[in-house]
Amino acid sequence: METIKWGIIGCGGIAHMFARGLQCLENGTLLAGASRSPGRAEAFAREHGVERAYADYESLVADPDIDAIYIATTHNLHFENAKLCLENGKHVLCEKPFTVNAAQTEELIALAREKNLFLMEAVWTRFLPAIGKLRELLAGGAIGEVLSVKADFSISGDFGAKHRLRNKALAGGALLDLGIYPITFAAIVFGEPPLRIQSSAVMGNTGVDDRSFCLFDYSGGRRAMLSSSFTHHAPTEAIVCGAKGYIRVPWFLGAQELHIHRNGTERETIKLPYGDGENFKFEIAHAMECIAAGKKESDVMPLSETLSIMQTMDALRAQWGLKYAGE
C-alpha cells in the first residue's frame, strides 16, 4: 500500500499517543506537526523525529505533501480544525468527541462529501482486537439474547478550574471526555440508538457535568446503565448480560481481555493484548486502509454512527441544561 503522509494539528498528550501508534505501522509516516503554543510543535517534532514543525494550522494544511491530518486539539476546536483541513483538501481523522454537537457534525459530513474526502472520528476502542472478538461472540450467541449493558468510566484527580475536563470554554465536562466511552460501548453491543433516554447529572461549580448517570431503553426491552465522572473513582469496566450468561470487559475502553461467564460453567478468559504505545495503531491502520482504497468513510466507525452518538449526547446535555459557547 502506498505510504500515507500525516500531519497533526495540536501537539499535546494525545498527539504523542498518535505518533507512537503510527510508528508501529509500515505504510504511514508522520511528516509534520502544528501547534499555536510557542515551541510546542518544534519540541514534538524533535521527540518523534518529525521532519516539519509549524507554528500555525494554516501552514500545515497548505503543505502539499500531507495526505491526511489527525486532529488532537481540545473539543471546542475540533469543528473549526476539521473544517479547515477539509476545505484544503486533506483527509481527516478527528479525535473524539468529533465535535461539540450534532449540528457541527452534520456540517462536516456534508463538507467531506462535497470535497470527496475521507472523514472519520477517532474512537480507538472500536478497533481493538478484543472489541472485535466481543462482537463475534455476541453475534454467535455466546451468552444468548443480550438484554442489558452496564458500563462506567470514572476517574478522580486534582483537576483545576482551567483543566480541560472542568473548563466550559473548552467544551469540558465528564460526558464529552469520558461518558462517550460507555455510550459507545452500548452502541457497539446494541447496534442502534436508544429509544428513550433518562439521566441525571451533578453539575460542578465551573458549569459542566462533574458526573452523570444514564438509563437507555432499546428495542425489545433491552437496557443500558451508563455512568461517567471525574470526581470519584470506580472500576472502569463493562458487563454485557445475556439470557445464558454474561461477559465482563475490564478497562473496556482499552480492552485487552474478555471474561466469559456462561451459566453453569467455569469462567473463560480470552486475552488479546497489545504492546505499549500500540493502542492507537488499530484505528490508524484502519483509516489508512480506507484512504488507500479510496473510501470516504469507515464501515467500523461510519459517519452515521458518529452523528447518532453526538445526537444522544446532545439529548443528555439538553436534559441537564448544559450549553457551550455559540449554542
**CA–CA separation, 1 vs 159, rounded Å?**
43
285 closest CA partner among 96, 120, 83: 120
* Contact present, 104 and 44 (Cβ < 8 Å): no
| Collapsed DSSP state (helix, strand, coil) of residue 233 | coil
**CA–CA separation, 125 vs 188, rounded Å?**
10
> 177-190 burial, b if ≥16 CB within 10 A, otherwise e?
bbbbbbbbbbbbbb
**Environment class of 89 (CB within 10 Å of its CB; exposed 0-12, middle 13-18, buried 19+):** middle
**CA–CA separation, 320 vs 209, rounded Å?**
8
Alpha helices in the chain, H assignment, sequence order: 13-23, 40-48, 57-61, 78-87, 102-115, 129-139, 174, 180-190, 281-292, 303-320
| Collapsed DSSP state (helix, strand, coil) of residue 65 | coil
The edge-to-edge listing of strands for the beta sheet with 119-122 is: 52-54, 28-34, 4-9, 68-71, 91-95, 119-122
> Which one is catalytic: 90, 96, 115, 150?
96
**Environment class of 162 (CB within 10 Å of its CB; exposed 0-12, middle 13-18, buried 19+):** exposed
Q: Which residue has the cell 452496564?
A: 150
Q: What does DSSP assign to residue 179?
A: I
Neighbours of 37 (CB within 10 A): 11
Give bridge partners of residue 246 from the DSSP assignment: 241, 261
Q: Does the annotation mark 5 as catalytic?
A: no
Please identify every residue annotated as catalytic. 96
